Structure 1
Amino acid sequence: MTETPRFTPTRRAVAAALAGFVPAARLLAAPAANTPRPGFLWGTAISGHQSEGNNVHSDAWFLENLEPTAFEDASGDACDSYHRYGEDLDIAASLDLNCYRFGIEWSRIEPEPGRFSIAALDHYKHVLEGCHRRGLLPMVTFNHFTVPLWFADRGGYEVADGADLFARFAERTTAALGPLIGMATTFNEANILLLRKALPRFATDAGAARARNMIETARRRRSAPAFSSYLFADPDRVDPILRDAHAKAYQAIKAGPGDFPVGLTLSMQQIDGVGPNAAQIQAGVEAMIYGEWIDAARHSDFVGVQTYSRLRFNDDGLMPAPEGAELTAMGYEYYPAAVGATLRYAARHIDKPVYLTETGIGTDDDRRRIAFIDATLNELRRCIADGIDVKGYIYWSLLDNFEWTRGYAPHFGLVAVDRHNFARTPKPSARHFGAIARRAHGGRP
């Protein structure tokens, strides 16, 4: 189903108008650019590649369909959100949320170097307009891990001028979409490759070998002298170029059109040192996984904290979860208290507005998802009581979608998606999260 251009005011939009938040005349007008949303942001998140489907010009699509590959599944149609985004926005609005975080796909907008697709830009314009019509502040991620295949062929972010090419994409995209964007981030989890130094992306030697073989096969198949895919690249080579790309894209986006905050999101897991050298271990790991991104965040408009668990280290390195600890479907410890620790870390070290832009749990037991949401909410309340100005809680994810190398097995979504007909079925956790947002009415937890 595609989005309909007809506008029907939502129940929350009508209530907001009656309460004086939105002029009643605007309910029947075209969506206003950068419409302010009062109060705390309650939202959900998805990314382009993980939900849209058939992102055929991307590096990830190519790698998923290689033999050998490190991916358990190919993304295929994903959740067909490219065509069914109206249904997804309707669900978010029905939950009385006021924010929708989503990613735009560079490989759709610039499928060949220097050729920008008007049709793809129009598509994302329609998504943004759909957000505004439903009272959802659109928070746009410019790069959520995937890159155009042509960009990977030439070395991706391991080549210095990759930063300029990303900034060019950001400039052209902002020219087309900027007046409708509510907030934006350049990169999703910009430090994710540094985290790999402490937490290897693949848990076994066999997994690491599979990834190396996949990238080498891709290089040969593409006749590319320097094939580089973001999630599998060399952290030491990529990180300085990625920081340059963020800085240049930030300036390009801020140049407008549009007037909205631009930040970045960081993977900020709670780090616990263990043993007699606990403090030094913790400080060393934090320096490793954040590098110079803390300073980059200080020079942005806000920071998005993305937390899923804690990591424990001793003198020998990464430790397993404590014996008897509950594990999620992703294999890491169920530990919602980590959210409080990372929000405090961000507030203490970055001193910019803080949003919880991702947290969630992979599980098939929706009761544990509800418990995770409640525990996260308690952490938020404690942080706010301690004077930390947390400005939003965005749950990952709206949908059960494609979870990268793990394929479709882990389920993070508030909404189940039938893999055969794409039917969306909100889970009890969706109604639970929506009830919390409804009671808050845009206010703090």
Structure 2
Amino acid sequence: MKFTFTPDFLWGSTTAAYQVEGNNVNSDFWAEEHAEGSPYKDKSGDTIDHYRLYREDIALMASLGLKAYRFSIEWSRVEPEPGQYSRSAIEHYRDVLETCYKHGITPMVAMHHFSSPKWLMRLGGWASPEVPDRFAKYCEVVFNEIGHLIPYVLTMNEINLPVMLREIFSRIGFIPPVGIDRDAWTAPKWRESAAKLCGTTIENYFTFHMISDESSIKILKETHRKAREAIKRVQPKTKVGLSMALSDIQSIPGGEELAVQKWQSYFRQYLDMVEGDDFFGLQNYTREVYGPEGQVKPTEHAELTQMGYEFYPEALSNVIRKVSKDLSIPIIITEHGIATNDDERRVEFIRKALEGVHACLDEGFDIKGYLHWTTFDNFEWQSGYSMRFGLIEVDRSTQERKVKESGRYLGSISQTNSLIGMIV
């Protein structure tokens, strides 16, 4: 059976600056990596050297047939010290955007993807009431220079992830950043060391991944609103949104109320933040099932990814239907992927998920695109280089790129705007 998508559907892949660019020495994550007792398995170093190799990388994406590329602009490169803006960094990102257009690729930019300038920690990090104006000013500076090249922008990536992390770890009394297990999080003094490397103390050290209490969430919402206003003042035609990480929340008998609470916490509490946006960035990887005693582990026969997630591509269409009950703006799938060394399973994950997306389109849901996480195998935060999410493999000793079958598969879907499904 053949599934055909709308002619203007955006097909592509996505990266995050810190995970691919390399040597992001002004970032709070760089401090965390190099802190004494740091739980990070690897140092990011050059990562895959995308800051230098972006022209070849974008040409490679285009050669596969991909038509869209979502990447992030690194705040700590553009503004390495408060109020000091780097002309060379802005010109770099200008060329990234122009290279996309040269190869027929529609760019989408995230102004923030987890990492922040070290100097922000000296002001109290994301708990500081200065954040909304400072972030909006950074967005204004960027858009005054290169905003005419940015048709779609996410102010921030996965604004709800800190709350998800807080709830996962609240039972043991601490809040870890993304990808950090609880044993690593309790490693002595590493956060104090990270704060010192940022030029501050642990009392001021408040990264993006800690935004989970009422006060910091209020600051987060104000930051998005002011950033959106700044962007729209400069470039009214740019479509502005944000993204959320959303598992497919399910329940078994006795877990219905808890599932409702989780959905409220993960998604619905942020609905006022989305008001006024042009689109919603939906990001999904798996499902979570709740029973009367809490989250239910996958069965012993369930297939798990490298991240320990259940292989469940049906989750994507389920989440589209759920968020659409509360949204009246278009949806763009801004991340969806799987960590695995078995690329055949990645192809199957994409195929099954996209059959579900097509079904949602047939049901009348307004979905504008699908961007796969991620373009390349890259630096996966605390997990280092052990997780394989990419459509393209990278030999980090030579920086040679090797396209996987999944990359060719998604590229062929993009070229034909259709996929061939299994006959059931």
The normalised TM-score by structure 1 is 0.87
1:3-152 correspondence runs (5 A): 39-152=8-121
Name the residue aligned to 1:229: 207
Q: Distance in 2 between matches of 1:115 and 1:203?
A: 32
1:125-204 correspondence runs (5 A): 125-200=94-169, 201=176
Q: Does 1:215 align with 2:191?
A: yes
Name the residue aligned to 1:3: none
Q: Distance in 1 between matches of 2:219 and 2:228?
A: 14
1:229-308 correspondence runs (5 A): 229-232=207-210, 235-257=213-235, 259-276=237-254, 278-308=255-285
8 Å CA contact retained: 1:178, 1:258: no
Name the residue aligned to 1:407: 384
SS at match of 1:391: strand
1:374-389 correspondence runs (5 A): 374-389=351-366
Superimposed CA distance per residue, residues 107-164 of structure 1 (whole angstroms, 9 cap, x where no aligned partner): 0000001100011000000000001111111100000000000012321111111111
SS at match of 2:388: coil
SS at match of 1:292: helix
Superimposed CA distance per residue, residues 78-120 of structure 1 (whole angstroms, 9 cap, x where no aligned partner): 1100010011111111121211100000000000011000110
Task: Give 1:204 shift.
Answer: 5.1
Gaps of 5+ in 2: 1-5, 170-175, 420-424
Q: Distance in 2 between matches of 1:410 and 1:117?
A: 33
SS at match of 1:408: coil
Superimposed CA distance per residue, residues 345-380 of structure 1 (whole angstroms, 9 cap, x where no aligned partner): 222211110011100000001111111111111111
Gaps of 5+ in 1: 1-36
8 Å CA contact retained: 1:346, 1:354: no
1:309-320 correspondence runs (5 A): 309-320=286-297
Q: Distance in 1 between matches of 2:300 and 2:398?
A: 41
8 Å CA contact retained: 2:36, 2:189: no
Structure 2: which amino acid aligns with 1:171?
E
8 Å CA contact retained: 1:193, 1:235: no
Q: Distance in 2 between matches of 1:318 and 1:407?
A: 27
Q: Distance in 1 between matches of 2:257 and 2:212?
A: 26
Task: Give 1:207 shift.
Answer: 2.9
Name the residue aligned to 1:420: 397
1:441–1:112 CA distance, 2 compared to 1 (3 A): same
SS at match of 1:348: coil
Question: Where do 4+ consecutive residues of structure 1 move more than 3 Å?
Answer: 200-205, 232-237
Name the residue aligned to 1:18: none
The normalised TM-score by structure 2 is 0.91
1:437–1:237 CA distance, 2 compared to 1 (3 A): same
Task: Give 1:218 shift.
Answer: 2.1
SS at match of 1:323: coil
Q: Distance in 2 between matches of 1:348 and 1:121?
A: 39
For residue 341 of structure 1, the aligned residue among 312, 318, 321 is 318
Q: Distance in 2 between matches of 1:247 and 1:234?
A: 18
Aligned Cα RMSD in Å? Answer: 1.8
Q: Distance in 1 between matches of 2:304 and 2:317?
A: 19
